[in-house]
């Protein structure tokens, strides 16, 4: 029988990370590990596929596993290479259609437009990247006032967080990704905890500043997304996106921003990730991008 070398190129979009993670973990549980500490190897790989989508895909798309499903064929070896398409972006025109009377629970005539969603999504992803970069470079090092310029994001947080540990910082980085994922699914990025309130606030600040400093770059980013009256209505974003979830007690004369500031000051940073009672809890096993 002849030996055949086959090259397969697949374009894949991850649409359900929890389902992908569960499938990858099931595969790893069934693998046989040889050598020193096989159970330690299994635990390490389980941890990797639980936190990294590329690792999860690698477990599921391994050549030996793929070939084993084809009758009459024996795997002679092979390699797997996975690369991320850098220019992928959600179709915000489809996700946030302007012709809809309501979008994600819009109140009155205001809506989250495709261009606003696109710019906000970009800033959330950028902040997540920067927060993970801070984590990779500084780990548990505290932020020092004289060295704030050495930090991309974490030095912008309230000073009481400057000495927080690595796990806390990693969870904070994930809040940007969580809100960006909401937008990528066509949902309004409604903060579900205090940490997400802070993350969305930073993204709105950066989106406003980028639009003011580099309007042409923003225009180029938008491509052929439709134009609308409510594009880049940052005050409207504050009014409509904040305060949907969260405690409604406290001083009724305070606006949402001031009420959030009071809660941030009164709550230890460890408690900033506790979901609001009226908000759906995010999947606790969703893992981290890094």
* Whether the predicted pLDDT of 102 surpasses 50: no
pLDDT of residue 86: 54
Q: How far apart are CA 268 and CA 260, in angstroms?
A: 13
Q: Among 19-33, 55-69, 71-85, 235-249, which is the least confidently predicted range?
A: 71-85
Three-class SS state of 22: helix
Q: Structural domain boundaries of the chain?
A: 1-88, 92-273
Residues with Cβ within 8 Å of 89's Cβ and at least 6 positions away in sequence, in order, are 118, 121
Q: What is the pTM of this model?
A: 0.72
Output 113 or 44, whichever has higher pLDDT. 113
Question: Does residue 205 contact residue 130 with C-beta atoms inside 8 Å?
Answer: no
DSSP state for residue 262 in the 8-state scheme: H
Q: What is the pLDDT of residues 37-65, one digit of tens each?
A: 888 888 888 888 887 777 888 888 877 77
Q: Can you give the pLDDT at residue 13?
A: 67
Confidence of residue 106 (pLDDT cuts 50, 70, 90): very low
111 pLDDT band, cuts 50/70/90, is very high
Question: How far apart, in whole angstroms, are the C-alpha atoms of residue 149 and residue 167?
Answer: 22
Is it the case that residue 103 has pLDDT exceeding 60? no
Q: Pick left, alpha or beta for residue 74 (phi over 0 → left; psi -120 to 50 → alpha; otherwise beta).
A: beta
pLDDT tier at 104 (50, 70, 90 boundaries)?
very low
pLDDT attached to residue 58: 83
Determine the average pLDDT of the residues in 74-97.
75
- Which has more pLDDT, 248 or 238? 238
Residue 253 pLDDT? 63
Please provide the average confidence, as pLDDT, over all residues in the chain. Answer: 85
Q: What is the DSSP letter of 148?
A: G
Mean pLDDT of 219-224: 93
pLDDT by residue (tens digit) across 138-149? 989 999 988 878
Residue 101 contacts by C-beta under 8 Å, 6 or more apart in sequence? none
Which has the higher per-residue pLDDT, 60 or 114? 114
Closest CA to 92 of 101, 104, 83, 84: 104
pLDDT tens digits, one per residue of 162-193:
999 999 999 999 999 999 999 999 999 999 99
């Amino acid at each position: 029988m002849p030996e055949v070398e086959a090259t397969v190129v697949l374009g894949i979009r991850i649409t359900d990370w929890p389902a992908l993670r569960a499938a990858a973990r099931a595969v790893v549980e069934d693998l046989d590990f040889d050598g020193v500490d096989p159970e330690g190897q299994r635990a390490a790989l389980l941890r990797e596929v639980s936190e990294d989508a590329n690792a999860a895909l690698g477990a599921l798309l391994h050549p030996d596993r793929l070939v084993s499903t084809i009758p009459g064929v024996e795997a002679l070896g092979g390699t797997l290479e996975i690369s991320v398409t850098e220019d992928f972006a959600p179709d915000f025109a489809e996700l946030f259609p302007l012709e809809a009377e309501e979008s994600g629970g819009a109140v009155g005539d205001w809506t989250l437009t495709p261009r606003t969603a696109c710019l906000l999504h970009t800033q959330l992803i950028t902040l997540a990247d920067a927060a993970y970069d801070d984590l990779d470079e500084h780990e548990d090092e505290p932020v020092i006032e004289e060295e704030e310029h050495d930090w991309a994001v974490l030095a912008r947080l309230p000073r009481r967080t400057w000495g927080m540990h690595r796990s806390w910082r990693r969870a904070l980085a994930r809040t940007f990704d969580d809100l960006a994922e909401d937008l990528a699914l066509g949902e309004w990025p409604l903060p579900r905890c205090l940490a997400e309130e802070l993350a969305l606030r930073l993204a709105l600040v950066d989106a406003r500043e980028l639009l003011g400093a580099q309007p042409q770059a923003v225009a180029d980013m938008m491509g052929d997304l439709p134009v609308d009256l409510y594009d880049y209505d940052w005050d409207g974003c504050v009014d409509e996106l904040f305060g949907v979830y969260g405690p409604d007690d406290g001083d009724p004369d305070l606006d949402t921003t001031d009420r959030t500031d009071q809660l941030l000051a009164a709550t230890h940073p460890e408690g900033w990730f506790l979901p609001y009672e009226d908000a759906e809890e995010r999947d606790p096993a969703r893992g981290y991008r890094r």
